[in-house]
Structures are given as structure tokens and as C-alpha cells.
Amino acid sequence: MLSLIKLPRVFTINQVPKVFHEDSIISGYRHPRSSATDCILSLFQLTNETLNIWTHFLPTWYFLWKLLTVVLMQTAWQDPFTWPLVVYLLSCCVYPLASSCAHTFSTMSARARHICFFFDYGALSFYSFGSAITYSAYVFPDKWVNSIFHQCYIPIVLINTVICTALACYSRLGLPFLQYNHETLKRFPECQSPKFGKALRVLAFAYPFLFDNIPLFYRVFFCAGDGCTDNGTNVLHKTHIALAFLTGFLFTTHLPERLSPGSFDYIGHSHQLFHVCGVMGTHFQMKAIEQDMATRRQWLLARSFPVGFGNTLGSMLLCVALNLVTIAVFSLPLLVPPLSQERKASRARASLESVPCVGKACRGR
């Protein structure tokens, strides 16, 4: 069937605009003005984005199955203690789906590429928030439960998610109040200084990750003696942490393609490995959270602050709303048709002609 369909052609790095370039990836680029149909058809041909899409699209269904299991089989709506897990599993469904959609439709235009990845960044921020919700409910070490830091943890995490999304969006296009057009798009961090833009994105996601995991790092690496929650779950937590750092290493180093540009264009480049390690890390994180939730349930219900709508689903809705507003602030200027230089010049002349003539400047007219 697919043999009867004409698949879109692919290009080399020299045939596409700079905004579409990927470090050390030489070939396999899609047309920079692909239609939505072309983008979908490209899922079934080998390009440098194909495995980026599938390595996140397929795990979405696994996490969705886990979510439905909790909601339908464990009757989560009747047990507020499971609500943090529901929020977390929702975020686990959203971030790979947003990523696969971003990679699928990012070649429709330069503006579409930026907006697609704005939503990708917002989804990652939401996943960070979902992880923190479960850490607050199930993972905090015994001696930190109900501490001042525990009480301030979720509000700070909420602020961090907005900062993360805003900084990641800024790394692509700069400040949103500037008038974007074909020429000014070339002068923003993503094109003018790709390394600076990449560094900003690394900072945007490294900082929330490190803050969210403060209680976990303390619990599994530094805590000793009573109140440290030293149980079998710590092995799963350590596996998740190791995979998280490996994911960050692949994202920042662009290995292995940097060692041999062009050799890993289609299979085996760092972004594909980054996706795989990220999903595996999420899987082990989910297992650890579920185990902590089951083994510590009675102790936490007796000693921790109660789990309710405000610190779970309500906070989630506020997080989503704030991140959507942030994305809109950066996206809306891109959606407004840019004024041509001629229209700008004509407006400038019209404004000058409308200024009333005063004094000597009027003589000789």
C-alpha cells in the first residue's frame, strides 16, 4: 500500500535553512515547508526525525494504559491518596505525545517549528511538575515530612515550571514583545548563537530537575540513621537518577554523531538515544513511585499533611494554565502576519505628512 504513495523527498543540510540544522546531522532532512500531509507521510519513511517521533509516540500508549489502570481499576476518584499518581501519569502521557507531535510537524515552516517546540518545552515542564507532586506525596524522607521545606516545595516547583518554559522559549526567539518577521527571526539566539540557545535550554531543564530531586538525592545518597526511608525502593530511584543523568549527557554532548558526522543521521544519533533513555528513566521512576506509595501509605497518612484537590489536581490545572499563557506570549507574535518593509515605510511617511507644519519649516511649501 505504501509503495503506491509518493513519499516526500529528503534533503542534505546544505539544502535547508539554518534554523532546521541539527548538530553533526548531514542528511535526512525533510522539506522546510512541508504540508501537514507530508509530515504525516514522513512517519513511514526513514528521515533523521523518524525514530525521534516513534521513540516517544509508542511509549505514550504505555503510559496511557498505566493511567487508565489507576483510574479505572484502582478507582482513583474515590481515594485522594492516589491523586498525585494520577497527576504524574497524566504528565507522563503528555510529554512524549507533545514531543512526537513537535518532531512530526516542525518542518511545516520556521514559525511552526518554534511553536511546536514551545509546546514540547511546556510539556516537559508539566512532567517536572508531575514528578514533584508525587515526590511531595510519597518520596520525601521521613525526617523531612511536614518540614518547612516540604510545605514550600510545591509552590516553588510551580514557579520553577513557568521559569523553565519561559527560559526554554526565550532560548529560541528572544523576547516576545519584539516584532518577528522573516529577517528578525535570523537574529534571535537559535540562529545567531546556537550554542548559547542550547546552553539556555540545558539550564532551563537542569535547574528544575535538580530542585525537584533535592529530597530524593538526600534520601538515597546523603541521609544516614533514623528517618532516612532506607527501603528497597531506593534501588529503583538510583536507576532512574542514573538514566536521567545519561539523558542529560546525550542531550548536551551530541554523541555519537559528533565523533563521525553523517554516520548516525538516520539511526543511532544522540536525540534518539536521549528519547529512549528518557522513557526508560520515566519507567523506573514510575515503578519507584508506585512502590513508595504502597509501602509507605499508612505511615504517610498518619504523619504527612493530607492530600487533597488543592495540592494535586488543582495545582496541576494552575500549572497547565500558567504554562499555556507563557507559550501563548511567545507564540502569538509569530502568528501575526509580519509587516513588510514597504508597508512600514509608507506608514512612516504617512505619519510624517500628518505632522502639522510649524514655523520656518513651513516656508517655501
Name which of 157, 75, 143 is nearest 304 in CA terms: 143
211: in domain? yes
165: in domain? yes
> Where do we find the cell 509608507?
346
Cα 226 from Cα 99, distance rounded (Å): 42
40: in domain? no
Can you give the length of the chain in residues? 365
133: in domain? yes
Element (H, E) at 29: strand 27-29
Stated pTM of the model:
0.88
Cα 178 from Cα 168, distance rounded (Å): 17
Burial of 349 (0-12, 13-18, 19+ CB in 10 A): exposed
Are the CB atoms for 128 and 161 separated by under 8 Å? Answer: yes
Name the β-bridge partners of 29. Answer: 11
Are the CB atoms for 323 and 161 separated by under 8 Å? Answer: yes
Q: How many domains does the chain have?
A: 1
Phi, psi of 65 (to 5 degrees): -60, -40
* CA within 13 Å, CB half, 143: 12
pLDDT the model gives residue 352? 43
Per residue of the chain (365 residues), what is the pLDDT tens digit? Answer: 445 567 889 999 999 998 899 999 999 999 999 999 999 999 999 999 999 999 999 999 999 999 999 988 777 778 899 999 999 999 999 999 999 999 999 999 999 999 999 999 999 999 999 999 999 999 999 999 999 999 999 999 999 999 999 999 999 877 655 545 545 555 455 556 777 888 899 999 999 999 999 999 999 999 888 888 878 899 999 999 999 999 999 999 999 999 999 999 999 999 999 999 999 999 999 999 999 999 999 999 999 999 999 999 999 999 999 999 999 999 988 887 654 444 554 554 555 445 455 444 444 44
Q: Which amino acid is at 235?
A: V
65: in domain? yes
**Cα→Cα distances 50→35, 46, 254, 267, 353, Å:** 16, 6, 18, 9, 56
Domain that holds residue 90: 47-336
* CA within 13 Å, CB half, 332: 8
Positive/negative CA dihedral, 67, 323, 310, 307: positive
> Where do we find the cell 542534505?
12
322: in domain? yes
60: in domain? yes
Exposed e or buried b per residue across 283-292, where buried means at least 16 C-beta atoms within 10 angstroms of its C-beta: bbbbebbbbb
**Cα→Cα distances 303→78, 133, 136, Å:** 21, 17, 13
Q: Which amino acid is at 217?
A: F
Positive/negative CA dihedral, 223, 303, 127, 328: negative
355: in domain? no
pLDDT the model gives residue 296? 95
Name which of 54, 58, 44 is nearest 3 in CA terms: 44
